[in-house]
Amino acid sequence: MEIGISIALILASLLMILLVLLHKGKGGGLSDMFGGGFSSNFGGSSVVERNLDRLTVITGTVWFVCIIALGLLMRP
């Protein structure tokens, strides 16, 4: 059980890093480096940003639940 939750935590952490880097920042940042053409075409599209926000929140929730579950399982 602990191994499964640990694997889920690692995957959620990596996905969270990727999603945060894809967000459009004030100065562009890495999101423009990886998807500059995409963000310039759809920069005004609130649907793309809203879906990215939702996916980031869901991933963050999964990450948080994994942390709590591991903490409860590893208690003495």
Write the pLDDT tens digit of every residue in 18-74: 999 888 766 555 555 665 545 455 555 678 888 999 999 999 999 999 999 999 999
The CA distance from 10 to 14, in Å, is 6
The CA distance from 60 to 19, in Å, is 10
Share of the chain residues as helix, strand and coil, in percent rounded to the nearest 5: 80, 5, 15
Q: Which token pair is 40?
A: 């310039």
List the one residue out of 16, 17, 6 whose CA is nearest residue 61.
16
Counting every residue, how long is the chain?
A: 76
List the domain boundaries for the chain.
48-75
pLDDT of residue 9: 97
Tokens 């990596």, residue located: 14
